[in-house]
Structure 1
Amino acid sequence: MSIMTTPPPTTCYDLIVLGSGAGGLATAVTAAYFGLKVVVLEKAEVVGGTSAWSGGWLWVPGNPLAQQAGIQETIAEPLAYLSSQLGLAADNPKIRRFLEVAPAMVEFFQTHTAVRFIDGNQIPDFYPVAGSARGGRSVCAAAFDGRELGAAIKDLRPPLSVISLAGMGIASGQDLRHFYQASRSLASAYYVLKRLGKHAWDLLRYQRSMQLVNGNALVARLLKSALDQGVEYHTQVQVLELVKHGERISGVKITAQGQTQILFAKQAVVLATGGFPHDLARQAQWFRPENGRQHYSAAPNTNTGDGIQFAEQLGAQLSNFVQAGAWSPVSLVPTRRGELLHFPHLIDRAKPGIIAVLPNGQRFVSEADSYHEFMTQLFKATPAAQEPYCWLIADHRAQRRWGLGWAKPFPFPLYPYLKSGYLKRANSLQDLAAQCGIDANQLTATLKTFNADALQGRDNQFQRGESPYNRIQGDPEHTPNPCLAPLTQAPFYAVKLVAGSLGTFAGITTNENAQVLNSKQQIIEGLFAVGNDMASIFQGHYPSGGITLGPAMTFGYVIGCTLANQALTPSS
């Protein structure tokens, strides 16, 4: 049931969930499956939050899909990897709870709901250290036909516009590979033409894509599951405050379409409002000075820290970390309306023929490292009191092959990107440097060294392309190093990268059941937190892709099972 402009007609539920991302919906679906009456309240006009714009990947060591493929491991192995990244912080009951329960979560959703996953058995962890895996710890939402949602499809947040193709999402892996190969392979060209033809028909008939992939498919599958289980959801609902009865949270005060009312929760309220990527005051308080004063998040602008504010008002303990954000480089995309959209650079940095340099013309990191590590090194390399930024540079061959951020590859024309000022172009490195304010002599020297090494398939400065994660981000058909090619073919192109994020890590302190704790480490009865409202169990570290959605859905499952008095794992 969806009522977009009126308050919910029922005033009493077993469970009230604030926020409709993967964490909130996973909580709602689990609780409803076990018989609870659940409502999901969403502030935005659409459902899905940041999850609907994500890659749809979950980090789940020991997941059933990996086991079916013969990849077996105990929790000791991912724990060893986390220890190499987190140190003593890996000895955390919430991490152990996650590792123990996450595989059961995947099995539950695969067996009892409309959620389906594909394996990530070839996806390595970010860092090649003790305990890391070359694959088998990731799953991703399977593609979904949006028509299965019926009328509810209008409530689903569309894919992020700047990384979609006229509103059509492109999945990582084989789907994306076909698009890159469309001008080089007849089979890929046929595949792409079929996808585009289907998309054109969808736009004509439904005014949006029905070929849902990535996080859009994950949210759509969770929404379908919620509808199947009788979960109510309501958009455009502003929560004003949480209601207490004695020491227990017993409901919420809301306003919708000018009407104010109280909804009561017999068992609990769950905070799942997406963290604080657009809460400027909390960013100023929690982000470190070296991260810069400007922050451009790729998360929806409705994620303004509401859940964290509600918890703080109730005396909840909040946790901040050295790295409070899930950092990602972004470029600023101008629109005709005068606003700037934020393009997250997750893939292009690793491709052959592309490098990143500081204003001084020097490289500072392996461009093929994770987005979070890329930004961490940029922060370190930026002089104090200067806003962190760098330039992503490609030669003509690389830009036409891979694109450069929002500036799409061949056969898309470059004129719109050049006219808007988003993409810089010059026939020489010296002229490009002048346009971008880069030290021209140092840029020339950097490229001379880089190109000589790239011809030999090595990066003597940062060892780009040597780790499993680096290599899978590159071009598997390019030898001898899938991540390296010299930049030699003019004209040359550049896009400015600034500090951004995919979300936030700092947040509400919880126990291993996702119950909110106060400053005395006592449970605030009737209050849970999940997703990016819940302080990351990895405490500001980013060990692998999917470490946001994996815990979000796992602890959503934990909450649902806990409230319904259900076992978390089949053997427990």
Structure 2
Amino acid sequence: MSGVTAPAWDEEVDVLVIGSGAAGMSAALGASVGGCRVLLVEKTDRIGGSTAVSGGAVWAPLNSQSAGAGHPDDFDKVWTYMRHTVGDAAPEEMQQAFLRAAGPVMDALAQHTQVRLVARTHSPDYYPDRPGAAMGGRSLDPLMFDGRTLGAHFKELRDPLPEFMVLGGMMVTMTDVKYLLAVTRSFAAWKEGVKLVLRYVGDRLRGYHRGTRLVLGNALAGRLFRSVLDRGIPYWLRAPLVSLQVEDGRVTGACIERDGRPTWVRACRGVVVATGGFPWNAALRERLYPSPTGPWSMAPAGNAGDGITLAQAAGAAMGTGHFSPAFWAPVSILNRSDGTQVRYPHLVWDRAKPGLMAVNSAGRRFVNESTSYHEFVLAMYRSHAEVPSLPAYLVCDSDFMERWGLGLALPGGRPRDHLVRAGYLAKADTLEALAVQIKVDPAALRASAEAFDQAGVNGVDPGFGKGSTAYNRYLGDAEHQPNPCLGRLRQAPFYAVAVVAGDIGTACGIRCDANAQALSADGTPVSGLHVVGNDMHSVMGGQYPAPGITLGPALTFGWLAGQHLAHTPSAESHP
């Protein structure tokens, strides 16, 4: 609606924030702390966006906790790492702006909000052998959050992925799962497991629809939401963005659908767009993603490119030069009889464990299975250029299955026949029979498994280097020798699941400056418009250097956008 005057302003605020993920709530809080009247609007019926269903890691190098976590850091070291991972895939000035601001923003959030993050004492960057890499300190996790403190608003917080919960609604971390799997083998594990279960049972008896002990990204979203409530920031649910209003080259507000009617909201200082990128926009995905692609994203289905499309209509330009359009993850898919789908992201639990092998349609390995989820999918696409590798197949034996599980197939003797009947899980008494089920060459699968089995014996993978880096071994089984990531593959029955090139969000978006102001094609700011989160062109350029490289910039540039607007002169108010 560029150049069109709104029929009448129904609401007036200083800052209008569109989208309630980490970036949007950080922007709202930054503006509120700066003294602005803020309105937060959300397209769906829940607060939290992609953040609420994420793992919750926040990459914020040079934060104030790094040294205390045992990993003193400096700008030159982390900048060296960025040059050897991101390189020129994103503008240098944006990369440096993030590195210089991330630490101070984390401190500001700790000072002014309920956000509490703690640095990991051991969490290698994803490319630990490259110059400047760190073994910990740069990634932070949200502290557990008590959802009961949200009161009646708890039901408005987006639920986590079911795969991050057990017993129908109890959130768990990797550490929690290890306790639960070892309850019969260790008193300490039994004690911790009982505490978790009793807390959960108490929540359900009190009428909560799920457990209130929040961890991972749900804890971060809950802490941000609690902070929004504490500051009295009004928010609207089920309120999608219809259009941005542009007058004399300035974004002056937006039309929001509320209760089925258009509502015109004037934003005297500006609008922040934080609608979560475009992973569920089929047209943009077909145009910008490599082929083949499909509806395989782990992001909420509401993330359909609304903000990006309307920001472009208001004069903003897409960024360029990125390495990849998305942040990838291998995803397995269960097609239910009612036509619905369950998507499982193979992030950090199963692929690095000893005894799991990945093969393409030729029945041959093509990747270091314990590499990062992003790098795994890049390898799928590289392999696909030579031999069909989408889908690829994760293969294991019964020993692995009972110890670790495989995707939706749970360990410890849990029922799996329903997954076999649904076509999600392939199961066979021989590798050759398994190969027939998944339509790969039986002889090749047998040869791949025998070579992989020998690598498990030797503790060295000469073909692909599984278990060869600190990051690989961090996600393996520390108790397994001689290599935490390499194990045998020979005990029938054998299992396989197909994985496709899923994503956890998009990386290409609106070009911005260091204050998160949207830029036009000629590089000048679009007055009154800021863009953050996955709507902003990634400062990582579609590379994935470490855990938390989406949430770190989301929180950082969200806060910077809010603070920048707090120091922006207010446009003359219309009657």
TM-score (norm 1): 0.94
| 1:243-298 deviation digits (Å, cap 9, x = unpaired) | 12221111111112222220110111011000000000001111123xx1324001
CA distance in 2, matches of 1:69, 1:82: 21
| 1:445-472 deviation digits (Å, cap 9, x = unpaired) | 0111111121111111111111111010
Contact (CA 8 Å) 1:318, 1:507: kept in 2 or not?
Answer: yes
Displacement after TM superposition at 1:116 (Å): 0.8
Displacement after TM superposition at 1:202 (Å): 1.8
Displacement after TM superposition at 1:89 (Å): 4.5
AA in 2 matched with 1:77: K
Displacement after TM superposition at 1:91 (Å): 5.9
Contact (CA 8 Å) 1:162, 1:341: kept in 2 or not?
Answer: no
5+ long unaligned stretches in structure 2: 1-8, 569-575
Cα separation, partners in 2 of 1:59 and 1:143, compared to 1, 3 Å: same
CA distance in 1, matches of 2:445, 2:183: 33
| 1:319-371 deviation digits (Å, cap 9, x = unpaired) | 24341010110000233532112110012111111111111111111100000
Tell me which residue corresponds to 1:46: 46
AA in 2 matched with 1:272: A
CA distance in 2, matches of 1:83, 1:180: 41
Tell me which residue corresponds to 2:24: 24
Q: Which deviates the most, 93-102 or 334-343?
A: 334-343
CA distance in 2, matches of 1:447, 1:208: 41
CA distance in 1, matches of 2:546, 2:533: 16
CA distance in 2, matches of 1:68, 1:111: 19
The DSSP-based 3-state class of the residue aligned with 2:334 is: strand
The DSSP-based 3-state class of the residue aligned with 1:209 is: coil
CA RMSD of aligned residues (A): 1.7
Contact (CA 8 Å) 2:362, 2:387: kept in 1 or not?
Answer: no
Contact (CA 8 Å) 1:83, 1:90: kept in 2 or not?
Answer: no
Tell me which residue corresponds to 1:323: 324
Taking the TM superposition and a 5 Å limit, the aligned residue runs for 1:337-356 are: 337-347=338-348, 348-356=350-358
CA distance in 1, matches of 2:453, 2:81: 34
Q: Which runs of 4+ in 1 moved over 3 A?
A: 88-91, 383-387
| 1:42-83 deviation digits (Å, cap 9, x = unpaired) | 101111111111010011111122133353222111110111
Q: Which deviates the most, 296-305 or 80-89?
A: 80-89
Q: State yes or no: 1:281 paired with 2:283.
A: yes
Cα separation, partners in 2 of 1:324 and 1:107, compared to 1, 3 Å: same
Taking the TM superposition and a 5 Å limit, the aligned residue runs for 1:150-161 are: 150-161=151-162
Taking the TM superposition and a 5 Å limit, the aligned residue runs for 1:284-433 are: 284-289=286-291, 292-320=292-320, 321-347=322-348, 348-383=350-385, 386=388, 388-433=390-435
CA distance in 2, matches of 1:190, 1:419: 37
Tell me which residue corresponds to 1:147: 148
Contact (CA 8 Å) 1:82, 1:90: kept in 2 or not?
Answer: no
Tell me which residue corresponds to 2:85: 85
CA distance in 2, matches of 1:201, 1:335: 31
CA distance in 1, matches of 2:240, 2:63: 37
Taking the TM superposition and a 5 Å limit, the aligned residue runs for 1:101-500 are: 101-127=101-127, 128-165=129-166, 166-172=168-174, 174-204=175-205, 205-289=207-291, 292-320=292-320, 321-347=322-348, 348-383=350-385, 386=388, 388-500=390-502
The DSSP-based 3-state class of the residue aligned with 1:175 is: helix
AA in 1 matched with 2:535: D
The DSSP-based 3-state class of the residue aligned with 2:557 is: helix
CA distance in 1, matches of 2:91, 2:505: 24
Contact (CA 8 Å) 2:360, 2:389: kept in 1 or not?
Answer: no
Displacement after TM superposition at 1:412 (Å): 2.3
CA distance in 2, matches of 1:196, 1:492: 32
Contact (CA 8 Å) 1:324, 1:505: kept in 2 or not?
Answer: yes
Q: Which deviates the most, 148-157 or 200-209?
A: 200-209
CA distance in 2, matches of 1:452, 1:69: 38
Contact (CA 8 Å) 1:180, 1:402: kept in 2 or not?
Answer: no
5+ long unaligned stretches in structure 1: 1-8, 567-572
Q: Which deviates the most, 91-100 or 177-186?
A: 177-186
Contact (CA 8 Å) 1:117, 1:139: kept in 2 or not?
Answer: yes
Tell me which residue corresponds to 1:559: 561
TM-score (norm 2): 0.94
Cα separation, partners in 2 of 1:118 and 1:336, compared to 1, 3 Å: farther
Tell me which residue corresponds to 2:68: 68
Displacement after TM superposition at 1:184 (Å): 3.1
CA distance in 1, matches of 2:389, 2:417: 29
Contact (CA 8 Å) 1:288, 1:322: kept in 2 or not?
Answer: no
The DSSP-based 3-state class of the residue aligned with 1:393 is: strand
CA distance in 2, matches of 1:413, 1:387: 29
Contact (CA 8 Å) 1:79, 1:90: kept in 2 or not?
Answer: no
AA in 2 matched with 1:369: T
Displacement after TM superposition at 1:540 (Å): 1.3
Cα separation, partners in 2 of 1:148 and 1:491, compared to 1, 3 Å: same
| 1:350-409 deviation digits (Å, cap 9, x = unpaired) | 111111111111111110000000000110001469572111111111111111001111
AA in 2 matched with 1:471: R
Displacement after TM superposition at 1:563 (Å): 1.9
Cα separation, partners in 2 of 1:499 and 1:505, compared to 1, 3 Å: same
| 1:506-543 deviation digits (Å, cap 9, x = unpaired) | 10000111000011111100000000000101111111
Contact (CA 8 Å) 1:274, 1:533: kept in 2 or not?
Answer: yes
Tell me which residue corresponds to 1:4: none
The DSSP-based 3-state class of the residue aligned with 1:328 is: strand
Q: Which deviates the most, 361-370 or 176-185?
A: 176-185
CA distance in 1, matches of 2:49, 2:407: 23
Q: Which deviates the most, 329-338 or 35-44?
A: 329-338
AA in 2 matched with 1:550: G
CA distance in 2, matches of 1:406, 1:263: 44
CA distance in 2, matches of 1:134, 1:181: 27
Cα separation, partners in 2 of 1:395 and 1:183, compared to 1, 3 Å: farther
Q: Which deviates the most, 378-387 or 121-130?
A: 378-387
The DSSP-based 3-state class of the residue aligned with 1:296 is: coil
AA in 1 matched with 2:336: T
Displacement after TM superposition at 1:179 (Å): 2.9
AA in 1 matched with 2:398: H
CA distance in 1, matches of 2:293, 2:116: 41
Displacement after TM superposition at 1:28 (Å): 0.7
The percent identity for this pair of structures is 38
Tell me which residue corresponds to 1:97: 97
The DSSP-based 3-state class of the residue aligned with 1:221 is: helix
The DSSP-based 3-state class of the residue aligned with 1:392 is: strand
CA distance in 2, matches of 1:133, 1:516: 32
Tell me which residue corresponds to 1:570: none
Aligned residues between the structures: 555
The DSSP-based 3-state class of the residue aligned with 2:65 is: helix
| 1:130-171 deviation digits (Å, cap 9, x = unpaired) | 111111110011110100111111100001123422122212
CA distance in 2, matches of 1:305, 1:141: 28
CA distance in 2, matches of 1:70, 1:125: 15
AA in 1 matched with 2:331: V
Contact (CA 8 Å) 2:121, 2:137: kept in 1 or not?
Answer: yes
Tell me which residue corresponds to 1:14: 14
Displacement after TM superposition at 1:488 (Å): 1.5
Displacement after TM superposition at 1:555 (Å): 0.4
AA in 2 matched with 1:331: S
Contact (CA 8 Å) 1:158, 1:167: kept in 2 or not?
Answer: no
